[in-house]
Structure 1
Amino acid sequence: MTGIRIGIAQPAISDDARVNGPKVRSLMKKAAAGKARLIQFPEGMLSGYAKEQIADWSQVDWAAVRDELEQIMALAAELELWVVLGSAHPLTPPNRPHNSLYVISDQGQIVDRYDKRFCSHTEITHFYSPGFEPVVFDVDGYRFGCVICVEINFPHLFTEYERLGVECLLLSAYPVDSIFELKARAYAAINAYWISMSLPAQTADLMPSGLITPLGTYAAQAESELTIVDLDRDASDFQPALTVARPWRTTALKGEIYRARAVTDPRSTNHTTP
């Protein structure tokens, strides 16, 4: 196999890390049994998500969150499985937590953490501290990036990841409207990369979790708590998008092909002459 197999989780999220943690580990085991190399979870999976499960951070047992996270890390090493896990990440009081995705390697180490950069109005005024940096990481020769939920409304983030060479963007979310799906499919097709959406069971009525191809079509949609799917950059269906469209758009964005062909012509500069 020239591609990589990933697991996309669509579990229900509770307000109790002692419930969420075992669910994460159960799905990790299923993903590993299915030969997946990476499993992705929704926004807020471990801690619970603010505005939905969490009304105030004082209700969160941070010691339990940390203990469950450490157990997840240990299992990742045991299963030799990469894990991308949504959770609030506590900071030093009185600073609010980050809304984060932990990137846990198949050695059981947190190798990076994506902190949501563009939070909603309610998030930034009542619940979270913002992050400021993109996150990319490589698994078996494939490059992944991370975004979270409402960041779907900021196109430059998706273009940034294309410039960083991302082949599959991991979009973990707790969506509130069905147009979210259309935006994700458009970004996948425009940037010619895969987008993996991991969403909670609570939002399945709006759209399923799933893997969107560089053509903007679905490779798989969730029908249960876990979907296992392959992505393969060498598949013939994706060659025009990956080997023609994406390189051309990269060249076009640099602008030199246009600057080199600029003309000096009064009929060009005069915009009011028929």
Structure 2
Amino acid sequence: MPETLKIAVAQSTIHQDPTDPGLLRASGTEVRALLRQAAEAGARLVHFTEGALTWPSKVIMSSLGPDEIGPSDWTKADWQVLQEELDSIAQLSGELGVWTVIPAVHQLPDARPHNSSYVVSDQGKVVARYDERMLSTTKITWMYTPGTAPVTFEVDGFRFGLALGLDVLFPELFTEYDRLDVDAVLVSYCSTGVGPNENIAVQARGTAANNTLWVSLAVPVDPESGLVSGVVDPHGQWAVQATDTLAVTDLRHAEISTIGREFRQRTRERVSS
């Protein structure tokens, strides 16, 4: 089993109008450029921010808007172009031989969509999808259907869990991944109009230390947010932070403490018995 795995965390721009095919294609173009850059750096897995393809605005999507916020009218979204961009990203992942975690809106036939992260294998196939569970007030009231379950997948002997948006604020989700024996959790997070958000980085570091696992935090380019993309090691320290568009580092099995995980499991079993 490989002892290391090179990961790249992207820091991209976001667009808030999924009704505009030009903006969707611009986001797709940027994602593919970052994929190529990460592959050139030797990454086996590339992790993107929430909103990498589109960060739908509650104002733009409002059925009562733009002056009044109401239920989102998802018929306005250009679903065909969004799917074409996702398909193109998946194809490139296969051509480059890299795994890709790319957030996007997931359409449902008879309900509001999910806010999701797709897992694309190095063969260019979508092999998993995670749906954000802890939706904000705006998201749950006007925009999305919440997810219901954790999702894990494996790359080269490393097991990953996924978190999205405000999931990062809920320690119980990471405790759940601890019990599922993951080595790392990939957190995709985006916020606009609210900042600074340094507390999100604090949450990521604390979660990594509390559960002795790696945490990758992918965020957009936004100097006002107080956040940059990066990877936190199992001791709660930054292993790397982005200075430009990518943060690249090696995850290492040797730094993941099974002793801490076994201790937590024994203690929980004693308390619950």
Whole-angstrom distance in 2 between the partners of 1:13 and 1:171:
17
1:181 CA displacement: 1.2
Question: RMSD across aligned C-alpha pairs, in angstroms?
Answer: 1.9
CA offsets per residue over residues 191-213 of structure 1, 9 Å max, x none? 00000000011266412110001
- 1:65 aligned to 2:82? yes
- Give the structure 2 partner of residue 82 of structure 1: 99
Q: Distance in 1 between matches of 2:60 and 2:245?
A: 19
Alignment gaps of 5+ in structure 1: 260-274
1:22 maps to which residue?
29
Give the secondary structure class of the aligned counterpart of 2:204: helix
Say yes or no: does 1:4 pair with 2:5: yes
Please report how far the alpha carbon of residue 133 of structure 1 lies from its aligned counterpart in structure 2 after TM superposition: 1.1
> Which residue identity is paired with 2:8?
G
Are positions 1:147 and 2:163 aligned together? Answer: yes
The more displaced of 186-195 and 225-234 is 225-234
1:44: Cα distance to partner? 2.1
| Structure 2 letter corresponding to 1:242 | S
- The aligned residue for residue 200 of structure 1 is 220
Amino acid at match of 1:196: S
**Partner of 2:253: helix, strand, or coil?**
coil
| Matching residue of 1:184 | 204
Tell me if the contact between 1:5 and 1:229 (Cα under 8 Å) persists in the aligned partners. yes
Q: Is the 8 A contact 1:17 1:48 kept in 2?
A: no
| SS at structure 2 position matched to 1:255 | helix
Structure-1 residue corresponding to 2:147: 131
Structure 1 distance, partners of 2:60, 2:11, is 16
Question: Cα distance 1:144–1:118, how it changes in 2: closer, same or farther (>3 A)?
Answer: same
| Structure 1 runs of 4+ with >6 Å offset | none
Cα deviation code 1:163-213 (max 9, x no counterpart) = 001111000001442211111111110000000000011266412110001
Q: 1:72, CA displacement in angstroms?
A: 0.6
What's 2:49 paired with?
42
Q: CA deviation at 1:54?
A: 5.8
In the TM superposition, residue 48 of structure 1 has moved relative to its aligned partner by: 2.6
Mapping of residues 101-116 of structure 1, within 5 Å? 101-116=117-132
- TM-score, with normalisation over the residues of structure 2? 0.87
**Aligned equivalents of 1:174, 1:250: Cα separation in 2:** 32
Equivalent residue letter for 2:79: W
1:125 aligned counterpart, secondary structure: helix
Match status 1:210 vs 2:266: no
Residue 153 of structure 1 deviates from its aligned partner by 2.2
**C-alpha deviation, 1:141, in angstroms:** 0.2
State which structure, 1 or 2, has the greater radius of gyration over its C-alpha atoms.
1
**Conserved? CA contact 1:49–1:87, under 8 Å:** no
Shift of the alpha carbon at 1:51?
4.1
Q: Are residue 232 (structure 1) and residue 256 (structure 2) matched?
A: no
Q: Deviations over 1:114-164 (max 9, x none)?
A: 001110111011110111011000000000000012112222111000000
Which residue in 2 is equivalent to 1:243? 258
Query: What is the TM-score of this pair, normalised by structure 1?
Result: 0.86
Q: Which residue number in structure 1 is paired with residue 67 of structure 2? A: none
Contact 1:47 1:60 in 2 (8 A): no
* Counterparts in 2 of 1:220 and 1:37: CA distance versus 1, 3 Å: same
Equivalent pair of 1:50/1:127 in contact (CA under 8 Å) = no
Amino acid at match of 1:164: L
Distance 1:165 1:203 in 2: 35
Relative distance call for 1:58 and 1:178 in structure 2 (3 A) is farther
Which amino acid is 2:93 matched to? Answer: A
- Provide, for residues 199-231 of structure 1, a one-character-per-residue CA deviation record: whole Å limited to 9, x for no partner: 011266412110001101000011111111111
% identity of equivalent residues = 39
Distance 2:147 2:61 in 1: 20
Pairs aligned (count): 252
Whether contact under 8 Å (2:58, 2:142) holds in the other structure is: no
Distance in 2 between the 1:140 and 1:108 partners? 16
Q: 1:174 to 1:54 in 2, by over 3 A?
A: farther
